[in-house]
Amino acid sequence: MLRTIRATQYVTALREGGSLPAIVEADDLGLYVIKFRGAGQGPLSLVAELVAGEIGRILSLSVPELVFADIDAALGRNEPDQEIRDLLRASVGLNLALDYLPGSSMFDPAAGNKADSHTASLAVWFDAFVLNVDRTARNANLLNWHSKLYFIDHGAALYFHHNWPDADHLADSPFADVRHHILLPWAAGLEQAAAHANSRLNPQVIADILAQVPDEWLQSSHPTPAEARSAYLNLLTRRLAASPIFTQEAIRARAHLI
Ligand SMILES: Nc1ncnc2c1ncn2[C@@H]1O[C@H](COP(=O)(O)OP(=O)(O)OP(=O)(O)O)[C@@H](O)[C@H]1O
Ligand SMILES: [Mg+2]
């Protein structure tokens, strides 16, 4: 179960983030990177962040701890920046936050950073499974911290939820975008990664994650949050069954690279 913290102080904006994420201090005295429900991408990017992030964790990838972050109306009142004040006002209530990793740096192959085959293969399988296009050389969304790789920024994953009538064909998509995956060169163990992933994931595990998504974040797409959850479950269950399809696509894409 995700913990809930209360944001007590807005510390600084992370200007490189397209969704205006920020570092906040919380009532447990921890620092968190907060993804605002009121940001332009909308609440579905928080759904993706939570569901994909927790799936990654179950696969044993390192994902910073995810928590619900409660924002109250007082938080933004003294912010000098109008844009930030508006964002905080639009985000009163539950948001998603990640444990802040101080001193981390973005994974950069050009700087000599490398990944081990096990982690890289799992990561490629994971991003293909959740349809995450945001793990490229241009934007790795991969942090080096204490000599380990941490996976962040899954807000663009599960993009089928922006268009449910068209979602069906994505369930067994080979995910050709995998060819741009920043860790593909190191992903020498994709078959083993697929086997590991299939031993960890099943419909019950996915349903348990979906059960944690707040009702308020699911409101636009389906008549009820329960129906939205079952649509996600149905799609992700079919996607899991399509593992051989996207695993083979990744193996093929890698063969072209090396
Ligand atoms: N947990 C964390 N610890 C330390 N730094 C972080 C953490 N999460 C995010 N960051 C930093 O903040 C930046 C923006 O975060 P993130 O990529 O999640 O936001 P975003 O708005 O989705 O960004 P974009 O769409 O521009 O990639 C990251 O590139 C990273 O430098
Ligand atoms: Mg990012």
Residue nearest to atom 1 of ligand 1 (CA): 100
pLDDT attached to residue 78: 87
User: Is the same domain home to 165 and 221?
Assistant: yes
Q: Which atom of ligand 1 is nearest to the CA of 134?
A: 27
Q: In this predicted model, what pLDDT tens digit does every residue of 204-243 receive, in sequence order?
A: 999 999 999 999 999 888 999 999 999 999 999 999 999 9
User: Is the same domain home to 135 and 208?
Assistant: yes
User: Is the same domain home to 73 and 141?
Assistant: no
For 102, half-sphere exposure in the C-beta direction (CA atoms, 13 angstrom radius) is: 4
Boundary of a domain, candidates 67, 99, 131: 99
Residue nearest to atom 17 of ligand 1 (CA): 153
Residue among 5, 14, 20, 95 to mutate when testing ligand 1 (max atoms within 8 A of CB): 14
pLDDT attached to residue 219: 84
Cβ contact 95:46 at 8 Å = yes
pLDDT attached to residue 16: 75
- Residue percentage of the chain with pLDDT more than 70: 100
User: Is the same domain home to 79 and 121?
Assistant: no
State how beta strands 3-13 and 22-26 pair: antiparallel
Centre of ligand 2 to C-alpha 156, Å, is: 9
- The mean pLDDT of the chain is 96
Cβ contact 11:31 at 8 Å = yes
The H-assigned helical ranges of 94-143 are 117-129
User: Is the same domain home to 90 and 207?
Assistant: no
pLDDT attached to residue 154: 98
User: Is the same domain home to 75 and 176?
Assistant: no
User: Is the same domain home to 253 and 133?
Assistant: yes
Rounded to whole angstroms, how far apart are CA atoms 137 and 109? 8
Weakly modelled stretches of the chain, pLDDT under 70: none
Residue nearest to atom 4 of ligand 1 (CA): 101
Boundary of a domain, candidates 50, 68, 99: 99
Instruction: Count up the domains in the chain and report the number.
Output: 2
Boundary of a domain, candidates 99, 129, 161: 99
Q: Give the domain range for residue 192.
A: 105-257
In three-state secondary structure terms, 121 is helix
pLDDT attached to residue 162: 95
User: Is the same domain home to 44 and 165?
Assistant: no
User: Is the same domain home to 144 and 68?
Assistant: no
SS3 content of the chain, % helix, strand, coil (to 5): 45, 15, 40
User: Is the same domain home to 109 and 95?
Assistant: no
User: Is the same domain home to 145 and 239?
Assistant: yes
Ligand 1 — pocket residues by CB below 6 A? 14, 16-19, 21, 33, 64, 98-101, 104, 106, 139, 141, 152-153, 155
User: Is the same domain home to 65 and 13?
Assistant: yes
In the numeric block, which tokens belong to residue 123? 């990561």
State how beta strands 105-106 and 142-145 pair: antiparallel
Q: Pick from 50, 35, 156, 49: which is nearest to 100 by CA?
A: 35
Q: In this predicted model, what pLDDT tens digit does every residue of 123-139 receive, in sequence order?
A: 999 999 999 999 999 99
